[in-house]
Amino acid sequence: MKRLLNIVLITYLIISFSVQSPNKVFACSCGHSSIEQKFEGSGVIFTGTLVSKDKEGGNIFNVEKAWKGNLTDGYVYSGFNGMCGTEFEVGNTYLVYTNNVKGKEMASLCSGNKLINEASKDIQALDRLYEPEWKDKYILILLFAFAFAVVISIILWRAKLRFKK
């Protein structure tokens, strides 16, 4: 009977500890997003070198290339590490994905920001995704060039006729 009681007690303790042990939860864990998803979900995507930081969690970048959006002032708010923000270091060059929140471009831990030397695959994919605004207007550009050539030809033809007389 004593042995059975010990087995029940040990079984109870094992079950109690396994049920009561807390699961690990990370407050700032991020899901994996493809480059296409990041491209669609971001307001501005650019590469740039961090020039300066302020005490409020803001960063000033010298933008080198933009794939999406326009970062006119170079300002990106990233918060602080305690707020699931992301930490940029002055002088380093980054690939940065931002979202516009209340008129501010914001980058977070889950945005997908990378140091430039770790971002070559992302940059190649962004180059494939990026389409210049004039791409859909190439027919208009060709028509304008053709019309311009016709007008110049007519002007030259008329000038040539005048000189023959």
Is 158 part of any domain?
yes
pLDDT band with cut points at 50, 70 and 90 for residue 80:
low
Q: What is the pLDDT of residues 94-124, one digit of tens each?
A: 999 998 888 889 888 888 899 999 999 999 9
Number of domains present in the structure of the chain = 2
pLDDT of 97? 93
How many H-runs (helices) and E-runs (strands) does the chain carry?
4, 6
Is 16 part of any domain?
no
Q: CATH no. for residue 76? A: 2.40.50.120
Q: What are φ and ψ of residue 77, in 5° steps?
A: -85, 130
Among 3-7, 31-35, 80-84, 154-158, the least confident range: 80-84
Check whether residue 101 and residue 114 sit in a common domain. yes
Q: How many other CB atoms are there within 10 angstroms of residue 38's CB atom?
A: 20
* Greater model confidence, 45 or 139: 45
Is 22 part of any domain?
no
pTM of the model: 0.62
Check whether residue 46 and residue 97 sit in a common domain. yes
Q: What is the pLDDT of residues 45-79, one digit of tens each?
A: 999 999 999 888 889 999 999 999 988 888 898 87
Check whether residue 126 and residue 66 sit in a common domain. yes
Check whether residue 123 and residue 161 sit in a common domain. no
| 66 in Cβ contact with 45 (< 8 Å) | yes
Is 20 part of any domain?
no
pLDDT of 120? 92
| 103 in Cβ contact with 59 (< 8 Å) | no
Is 5 part of any domain?
no
Check whether residue 160 and residue 140 sit in a common domain. yes
pLDDT band with cut points at 50, 70 and 90 for residue 82:
low
Q: Which domain holds residue 160?
A: 133-165
| 129 in Cβ contact with 67 (< 8 Å) | yes
* Bridge partner list, 106: 77, 99
Q: Which of 123, 116, 115 is nearest to 68 (CA)?
A: 123
Check whether residue 90 and residue 153 sit in a common domain. no
